[in-house]
Structure 1
């Protein structure tokens, strides 16, 4: 603590001297005058990782719908992220950070379902991360900085030491959070995570600018004969699909629809053996999902993961909590294979039958076995509709695979 105080005193003196020096920079504006601007700088700052190689933006790139776009040895987007030490890999796919601010606090509760033949939901809801272990965005931001296989800073004090090395940060933190903010490491660390969370609540993360959103504002019209329109009808149908059971939060035409209702389910996702080979997990390792959350103790929750948003889903591959599937059509076929007489008994990415679920005892078969089986035309239609959930900034990232949707 004494070292931190000495560092603050030195930097404060430097700032005061610069202010009295009468040079051409005297009238310059502070680098960061708002929490969100400060949070954006921190979000992008590689210096906040131990080896100074990555930032929050490395695994949640603003240019790539806030996912990790780094490629693996095969030239594809990696299913799991490489850490600051360049050799460690995680076990879960880095989800998009877009629209994350809409997730409710982690809780056990109930909510209505829309366009679903299933009863209203009762169970765990919300939170951040796939297992909800962080209540909110600020708690989520606190994790990666000091995670040994992510940004790998040894402790909070080390993070604050890096902050103190930047005079612009010192000026901003003392102006926004008070002159005594660096007197206590925990308070300073809370200020770091609060500013990052504030940035994550800005429109950059939730522009609501997709074709779907524009259609609600009368700025875009789905051609009624297009594949996208057909897919939209399938998605919101109670009779033909069960998509909306888990991926619709509000009543139809809501302008703040996030396309997840933040439920937790085990949908039978298989182990990603390639990811496990990268991260060196022990043989027989199981991702317990929701049960890994310290607030959850019931074995019936094992293998369940938070339902992800479908916004920008067309540009945020690979898919599932472990990145095991690479193509959006594969994901839809995977869902379909739970239905009687499905046309999709074979995983198109492997050419063999779908691998067994990582956790088989808790699969949400009631939801998965609802709806009618699809054919190739239905799959194309669903992909086309999901592409219209891409925010305008990222439409150029939609795969150019020859599928005509409009």
Structure 2
């Protein structure tokens, strides 16, 4: 009897091993397919643009193609369309939760600056059909492009079933699912920056970086971690440096960009989300991750600031009475008025004292420790 029981146990254990292995193999195949799709320019109307065009892996997963004011946004596949928002980094995007309201009633999560895509797959569904981006006409057109590739045909059928190309909606959903699987890998979120290595005891922060770290997580000297801390406690593993909540921090319109793209309307931010109709949300944007922030400028949702130090000085103006701190160092003029002034998150913005140059430079130094290892050199 014991012998039979042992044999049954071995059989069940072997079945579990086979089952897990099959799932792992399938997931690896899905990730491989997603990787091919992410870099495939054939998924744009004129075959010039892929996901990686605006989320370049060697540039912190942002778009560095433009020059001067055009660097703030992305050029479409048609060679002339310019957006009005800075392409968010795809690095660590997998950690943004689905769009929701917190217990305090604050909107948080989702993808894009306004959270309108609930998941990574939903986000991946947007650009191919956006006329100002990849520009394909419809899902049928996308499916036709996919079927041009015999490797895609085999991979899609193997992962999603022989009938996957019978319905364009199904094929399109499978495509975005595979891309999302790739975006969830360590390729996008390695957690190997100097800061991560410091947490593991593999790197010693410089005195300046350490001061910046202390200031960043302080409840007394800065307001940084009110919005840029995900974990309940500071210095936790896999901190993405965003709580993904939406705020209006008073960013001015990017007038130089508007002169290029011809946009005349204000960007309403969160109010553009299809499920948000509360005017109190106008002008609010999702708090971005600070991972790789040192290599992913220009900054803010419209790319209005070029330098990371300028961003900290912009925040500092809310807490400083100094005339010097009311000047934008990039223009030599006073900080321009917010594009949407009515809904500022004043509680968060006005928390903490003014910062001197030593502390500002220390914060910049600390933020540079959040750069993934592959961008350090």
TM (normalized to structure 2)?
0.91
What count of residue pairs does the alignment treat as equivalent? 350
State the shift of 1:221 in Å: 1.6
Alignment correspondent of 2:14? none
Residue of structure 2 equivalent to 1:328: 308
Q: Which has the higher helix share?
A: 2
Which of these residues, 169, 186, 210, is aligned with residue 203 of structure 1?
Answer: 186
Deviation per residue, 1:210-261 (Å, 9 max, x gap): 01101111111213xx211111111011110010000011112211110000
1:356 maps to what in 2? 337
> How far off is 1:45 after superposition?
0.5
| SS in structure 2 at match of 1:78 | helix
- Choose from 204, 208, 224 the match for 1:243: 224
Query: Per-residue displacement from partner, 1:300-324 (whole Å, max 9, x unpaired)?
Result: 0000000000000000000000000
Quote how far apart the aligned CAs of 1:290 are: 0.2
2:77 is aligned, of 77, 84, 103, to 84
Q: Which residue of 1 aligns with 2:213?
A: 232
- Check conservation: 1:289, 1:302, Cα contact below 8 A: yes
TM-score normalised by structure 1 residue count: 0.84
State the Cα distance separating 1:77 from its structure 2 match.
7.2
User: C-alpha root-mean-square deviation of aligned residues, in Å?
Assistant: 1.4
> 1:33, 1:210 → 2: CA distance?
25
Post-superposition CA distance 1:139-167 (Å, at most 9, x none): 00000000000000010110110000000
**Structure 1 segment 244-393 matched on structure 2, within 5 A:** 244-250=225-231, 251-282=233-264, 285-342=265-322, 343-393=324-374
1:254-283 per-position Cα deviation (integer Å, ceiling 9, x unaligned) = 11110000110000000001111221113x
Residue among 72, 89, 97 paired with 1:96: 89
Taking the aligned partners of 2:342 and 2:94, their CA distance within structure 1 comes to 32
Of the three residues 18, 36, 41, the one matched with 1:41 is: 36
1: distance between equivalents of 2:249 and 2:285? Answer: 9
User: Which residue is 1:167 aligned to?
Assistant: 150
The runs of 4+ residues in structure 1 deviating greater than 3 Å are none
C-alpha spacing 1:53/1:194, structure 2 compared with 1 (3 Å): same
- Distance in 1, matches of 2:66 and 2:245, equals 30
Listed as ranges, the matches of 1:206-217 within 5 Å are: 206-217=189-200
- Match of residue 107, structure 1, among 96, 100, 103: 100
SS at match of 2:102: strand
Q: Which runs of 5+ in 1 are unaligned?
A: 1-31, 111-120, 397-406
